[in-house]
A and B are shown apart, each in its own frame.
Chain A
């Protein structure tokens, strides 16, 4: 850092602060201006607007951003004029003011050092804007005759309006996590006191016994001829004992009181720390009204966005991840859902379309919906598109139910846009929405009524920080299974276990479920079991269902999720860790992973053992990973390759494939393109960006054989691209051989 220009130039930290402040105030400005646009005669919001512009002006001066200071100043003038009643904002005025607000955001330095400075405004542009704003305050043309003074609205005091947001501070996630960790520890520490108090009660009891013994002794001495000093000692001893008992009783009750206080305090601290992980829903949706408005204008549509459940508490991690999917759904609704005013009137609807964004807590989940009263999805057209995009044959497409057809909307790269515009339909499908929901352990559903609208319903966990889990013992240690991912929990007498071809089964819902020992899946030493019954946790994924035999069930509890230490890397079958109430560590099971591991173990080809074998005889067999979400395709490819002498392992989707490549040592990966959670392109991209994996050859295999698909596959770094029909051609095996043989 050079020190010469240091005096005047504000440092990066100050600029960062400024950026943060501008972002906060711009949100207020946008909200206020949009409110004014809807109801032009209310003046209640003007104070907030004025204050926001004023704050930016002051802050801009501190960091020497003269342009931003000027713009903010001009905005403030406009608001002051409006408040004094000399100016009444028209739609055109609001437009100009909004442009001013945008300019402020552009003038604030990018929040990330690496961020490209969004088109730095030219001074001419700023000049033009300033004169537009000046025009609002003192119109050059003859001012319109002063309209009737607007009805007097009581100005809310200069203090922040009730219900206005608290000051928002930026705190790093790491700090919050530390806070939560310490709060959890203080909760654990407070649990130490009750047993300690209990132990003091024992002391109290033995003192009581001592005192009674003295009394008995004294009674039995009555009537006997005693020397005088014995009686004196005796009485002194009794007094002493009584004093001790009193003191102890007092101290004990004080301690109990303190214990109770400490307990309550620790509990409240813990809850408060947890709550600091939550933010109101509105914090994450501030930009949407403006986005919807601008988009609707561009398309000459009339759209109103209603946001309900603004104060619904949402986990900050989830809120952050919601932004992209929600923005996508809203854009979709404006572009494809809401019709033009003429179309709407012709259909007997009001000209203005309504999009409703709602967040609420429902059944312990966060329910978010995006609904519109537009034209709904055209199922017939979707069917057509499924056929033209070669996702299914015409017969299959006809046989699909409406609900199944709608499901195609969520496939990667399935776009309904008839034309690719700048606004939507850039080939980004609704898969963004689904993959986000699935990543956090939620789901998404759609409902559509042709001609009347479309709705997207997201069900998400309330928080990622806390998970309700079943604790079970495996290998003598506690493991936590997230309740949301459990199928069933069973206690089955040994006699109910059926044995068939070396495998054990129990019957669940009239279906045989194969059993597997949890300690074997986890590769840990078995613990002791003496119970009469088997403790079984039934887990499933889209393909398989297994009964995991644990040693015993322990408890059901809420756990605060601690991400695994980064130094450990990915541990198979484990998603995170947590602390139990007594402070002991517990590992949280990654259910998807666990089901796959169980499948691999039961298919008699545990990859872990295989890996050891391969390391021993490194050059013997080449190892190939086949990634495909279709069981049939996986099995087909596996057989084909195994016949050629390759050691083949399989993964059911891109995410699983990604986990597998990081753990195993493969010579080749063959992957499908369209898969849930993580598609083939993304898998290839990740592999090619990984330092350790970048030289691992990858073959993409897809239903889509169009040249542009091939190009995209090669562009992301795949070594070869085959359509599924080509897999049984000799050239496929030749390619495999060539790629595997490479040093």
Chain B
């Protein structure tokens, strides 16, 4: 049987607080957009939910704004990170089937933003130094949002620094 909608946050996001941490320790959440592996600081990730239906908004044609989604009984705007990063459209053979996609809920200054992602892998403890020391060659257009990269299970993972992205998202909403 297909795994039914699970409306609880994954236990992934329960942060462990034991183990002493380096001064520049950084916990990151690794997920996939199309063929790209991407990571965000775990601290801003509120919740992961199964992908539900996305209702498009009439008269709104901004490519970043996918529509409204149901997150725990509230309606939140859902945005496309792939579009923001200028990644090739992921909805052909490179993308996961719809049922495997997930909503990643991110919080910024009290506002929730929902990103549609293809798969969520794990939470890794990194250090900022380690992330920044690896030279990256992000695709054009992506550069302003890339804060470094690291390796995870033989994949290059782009670490996103979303400072400055919120203004772009707000504009996309209008």
Assess whether B70 is interfacial by the CB under 8 Å rule.
yes
Of the candidate stretches A11-19, A181-189, A679-687, the one touching chain B is A181-189
Please give me the residue from chain B that is nearest to A182 by CB atom.
Answer: B73
Assess whether A192 is interfacial by the CB under 8 Å rule.
yes
Assess whether A489 is interfacial by the CB under 8 Å rule.
no
Q: Are A182 and B58 in contact (CB under 8 A)?
A: no
Assess whether B170 is interfacial by the CB under 8 Å rule.
yes
Q: Are A583 and B55 in contact (CB under 8 A)?
A: no
Instruction: Please indicate the chain A residues that have their CB under 8 angstroms from the CB of B5 in the complex.
Output: 192, 583
Please give me the residue from chain B that is nearest to A582 by CB atom.
Answer: B53
Contact with A along B40-69 (1 / 0, CB 8 A): 000000000000111111111100000111
Decide: A584 near B73, CB < 8 A? Known: A192-B5, A569-B174: no
Q: Are A567 and B72 in contact (CB under 8 A)?
A: no
Q: Are B73 and A585 in contact (CB under 8 A)?
A: no
Decide: A522 near B59, CB < 8 A? Known: A181-B73, A567-B173, A568-B77: yes
Q: Is the interface of B mostly helix, strand, loop or mixed?
A: loop
Among residues 554 to 578 in chain A, which have CB atoms less than 8 Å away from a CB atom of chain B? Answer: 562, 564-565, 567-569, 571-574, 577
Could you tell me the distance between the alpha carbons of A192 and B57 in the complex, rounded to whole angstroms?
27
Please give me the residue from chain B that is nearest to A608 by CB atom.
Answer: B59
Instruction: Please indicate the chain B residues that have their CB under 8 angstroms from the CB of A490 in the complex.
Output: none
Q: Are B60 and A571 in contact (CB under 8 A)?
A: yes
Q: Are B72 and A477 in contact (CB under 8 A)?
A: no
Assess whether B17 is interfacial by the CB under 8 Å rule.
no
Neighbour of B75 across the interface among A182, A183, A192, A577, CB < 8 A? A577
Could you tell me the distance between the alpha carbons of A577 and B53 in the complex, rounded to whole angstroms?
14
Assess whether B4 is interfacial by the CB under 8 Å rule.
yes
Pick the most buried of A192, A199, A579, A608: most chain B CB atoms within 10 A of its CB. A579
Could you tell me the distance between the alpha carbons of A585 and B103 in the complex, rounded to whole angstroms?
15
Chain B interface size band reads 20 to 34
Assess whether B121 is interfacial by the CB under 8 Å rule.
no
Instruction: Please indicate the chain A residues that have their CB under 8 angstroms from the CB of B77 in the complex.
Output: 565, 567-568
Could you tell me the distance between the alpha carbons of A577 and B74 in the complex, rounded to whole angstroms?
10
Q: Are B70 and A579 in contact (CB under 8 A)?
A: yes
Instruction: Please indicate the chain B residues that have their CB under 8 angstroms from the CB of A587 in the complex.
Output: 55, 57-58, 68
Could you tell me the distance between the alpha carbons of A184 and B71 in the complex, rounded to whole angstroms?
12
Assess whether B16 is interfacial by the CB under 8 Å rule.
no
Decide: A189 near B75, CB < 8 A? Known: A524-B56, A567-B170, A587-B57: no
Instruction: Please indicate the chain A residues that have their CB under 8 angstroms from the CB of B56 in the complex.
Output: 475, 477, 524
Q: Are A585 and B59 in contact (CB under 8 A)?
A: no
Could you tell me the distance between the alpha carbons of A192 and B8 in the complex, rounded to whole angstroms?
13
Neighbour of B57 across the interface among A196, A571, A579, CB < 8 A? A571
Could you tell me the distance between the alpha carbons of A573 and B77 in the complex, rounded to whole angstroms?
18
Nearest CB in chain A: distance from B8 CB, A? 9
Chain A interface size band reads 35 or more
Could you tell me the distance between the alpha carbons of A573 and B59 in the complex, rounded to whole angstroms?
9
Could you tell me the distance between the alpha carbons of A521 and B92 in the complex, rounded to whole angstroms?
30
Counted as pairs of residues, one from A and one from B, with CB atoms less than 8 Å apart, the total is 88
Q: Is the interface of A mostly helix, strand, loop or mixed?
A: mixed
Q: Are A185 and B75 in contact (CB under 8 A)?
A: no
Assess whether B7 is interfacial by the CB under 8 Å rule.
yes
Assess whether A586 is interfacial by the CB under 8 Å rule.
yes
Among residues 159 to 202 in chain A, which have CB atoms less than 8 Å away from a CB atom of chain B? Answer: 178, 180-185, 188-189, 192, 196, 199
Could you tell me the distance between the alpha carbons of A184 and B72 in the complex, rounded to whole angstroms?
9
Q: Are A523 and B58 in contact (CB under 8 A)?
A: yes
Assess whether B1 is interfacial by the CB under 8 Å rule.
yes
Could you tell me the distance between the alpha carbons of A163 and B108 in the complex, rounded to whole angstroms?
47
Contact with B along A614-640 (1 / 0, CB 8 A): 000000000000000000000000000
Could you tell me the distance between the alpha carbons of A199 and B4 in the complex, rounded to whole angstroms?
12
Assess whether B76 is interfacial by the CB under 8 Å rule.
yes
Contact with A along B1-12 (1 / 0, CB 8 A): 100110100000
Nearest CB in chain B: distance from A178 CB, A? 7
Among residues 123 to 174 in chain B, which have CB atoms less than 8 Å away from a CB atom of chain A? Answer: 170, 173-174
Instruction: Please indicate the chain B residues that have their CB under 8 angstroms from the CB of A569 in the complex.
Output: 173-174
Please give me the residue from chain B that is nearest to A572 by CB atom.
Answer: B59
Instruction: Please indicate the chain A residues that have their CB under 8 angstroms from the CB of B76 in the complex.
Output: 565
Q: Are A189 and B70 in contact (CB under 8 A)?
A: no
Decide: A199 near B52, CB < 8 A? Known: A565-B77, A583-B70: no
Assess whether B111 is interfacial by the CB under 8 Å rule.
yes
Decide: A192 near B4, CB < 8 A? Known: A181-B74, A579-B70: yes
Could you tell me the distance between the alpha carbons of A569 and B76 in the complex, rounded to whole angstroms?
13
**11 more CB-based (< 8 A) A-B contacts, given A567-B111, A585-B67:** A181-B74, A184-B73, A475-B56, A523-B59, A569-B174, A572-B58, A574-B58, A577-B68, A584-B70, A587-B55, A608-B59
Q: Which residues of A approach B to under 8 Å, CB–CB? A: 178, 180-185, 188-189, 192, 196, 199, 475, 477-478, 522-524, 562, 564-565, 567-569, 571-574, 577, 579, 583-587, 608
Q: Which residues of B approach A to under 8 Å, CB–CB? A: 1, 4-5, 7, 52-61, 67-70, 72-77, 111, 170, 173-174
Q: Which 10 A-B pairs have the closest CB atoms?
A: A185-B73, A181-B73, A522-B58, A585-B55, A584-B53, A567-B173, A585-B68, A181-B74, A577-B75, A184-B73
- A-B contact list, 22 entries, CB within 8 Å: A183-B73, A188-B73, A192-B5, A196-B4, A475-B58, A477-B56, A523-B58, A523-B59, A524-B58, A567-B77, A567-B174, A568-B174, A569-B173, A571-B58, A573-B58, A573-B59, A579-B70, A584-B55, A585-B55, A585-B70, A587-B55, A608-B59
